[in-house]
């Protein structure tokens, strides 16, 4: 299962996406930069070998998207992502990692990152992820999504975890919110949701905010994972 899979088919005829790479291995950074800059609509404008330098670069040049490794020396990718979201929540962060251990996936889901990819991802797929995430979509690598779903309780134990806040998540959502949630699971941005439902972007955003509140989650990816895990849609 890949959240955002259909979003990869979205037309990418948009402005050039400005990217910063935060990765401790020089060979990986060089390879990523060289590969990404071959694609139209992508411009790698900065890079760093650790989070401290990365945060400085990001604050200075304010890129659209960050490719963030998890296993960085010093401050790790999760902490760095949280700091980025604190000073500018509009910057999109894509976790690009070779790690898929349960505890790391769980931490990544709570960091505020917009996408989670494994490093064996195909270059053209990564480019499409970068472009769609820059427009507000969410993405989970199929392998990461599988691990993430396993971290959530089985249906019979769901009530124990969520009963105090959301005893019946589906019942709390309106029919319109369920429609929005289905589109959100597909990786649709607020703009795309608005277009599909023939409403304003402001209205689409309001529905998404309401969904996050009712599902007791912090971001769109968590909402999508919970919706699938609990069969809400």
Taking the CB of residue 50, how many other CB atoms lie within 10 A of it?
17
* Residue 112 tokens, joined: 């505020």
Helix 123-134 to helix 26-36 angle (10° resolution) is 80
Phi-psi region of 187 (alpha: psi -120 to 50; beta: other; left: phi over 0): left
- Cα separation, 158 vs 137, in Å, equals 27
Confidence of residue 14 (pLDDT cuts 50, 70, 90): low
Residue 62 backbone class (left: φ over 0; alpha: ψ -120 to 50; beta: rest): left
Q: Are 45 and 133 in contact (CB under 8 A)?
A: no
Q: What is the CATH number of domain 6-149?
A: 3.40.50.2300
Which DSSP letter does residue 9 get?
G
CB atoms within 10 A of CB 98: 11
> Which CATH number does 153-229 carry?
3.40.50.2300
Q: Do 6-149 and 153-229 come out as alike in CATH topology?
A: yes
Give me the pLDDT at residue 214, please: 86
Query: What digits encode the pLDDT tens for the residues 25-58?
Result: 999 999 999 999 999 999 999 999 999 999 999 9
Could you tell me which residues come within 8 angstroms of residue 40 by beta carbon, excluding any fewer than 6 positions away?
none
DSSP 181-220: HHHHHTT--HHHHHHHHT--HHHHHHHHHHHHHHHT-SSH
Residue-wise pLDDT for 156-202, tens only, equals 433 333 333 434 566 688 999 999 998 887 777 788 889 999 999 89
CA distances from 157 to 47, 78, 115, 145, 161 (A): 44, 28, 27, 20, 7
The average confidence (pLDDT) of the chain is 81
**SS3 state at 152:** coil
Alpha carbon distance 36, 21 (integer Å): 11
**Domain parsing of the chain, residue ranges:** 6-149, 153-229
């Amino acid at each position: 299962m890949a959240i955002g899979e259909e979003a990869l088919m979205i037309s990418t005829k948009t402005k050039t996406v400005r990217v910063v790479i935060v990765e401790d291995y020089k060979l990986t950074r060089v390879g990523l930069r060289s590969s990404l800059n071959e694609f139209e609509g992508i411009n790698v404008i900065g890079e760093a070998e650790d989070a401290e330098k990365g945060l400085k670069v990001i604050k200075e040049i304010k890129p659209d998207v960050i490719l963030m490794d998890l296993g960085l020396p010093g401050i790790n990718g999760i902490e760095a992502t949280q700091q980025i979201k604190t000073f500018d929540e509009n910057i999109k962060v894509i976790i690009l990692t070779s790690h898929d251990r349960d505890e790391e996936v769980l931490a990544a889901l709570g960091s505020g990152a917009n996408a989670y990819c494994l490093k064996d991802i195909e270059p053209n797929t990564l480019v499409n992820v970068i472009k769609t995430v820059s427009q507000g979509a969410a993405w989970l690598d199929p392998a990461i999504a599988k691990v993430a779903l396993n971290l959530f309780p089985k249906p019979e134990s769901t009530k124990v975890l969520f009963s105090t806040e959301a005893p019946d998540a589906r019942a709390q959502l309106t029919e319109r919110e369920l429609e929005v949630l289905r589109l959100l699971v597909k990786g649709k941005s607020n703009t795309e949701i608005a277009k599909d439902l023939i409403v304003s972007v402001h209205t689409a955003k309001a529905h998404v905010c309401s969904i996050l509140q009712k599902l007791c989650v912090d971001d769109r990816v968590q909402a999508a994972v919970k919706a699938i895990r609990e069969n809400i849609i």
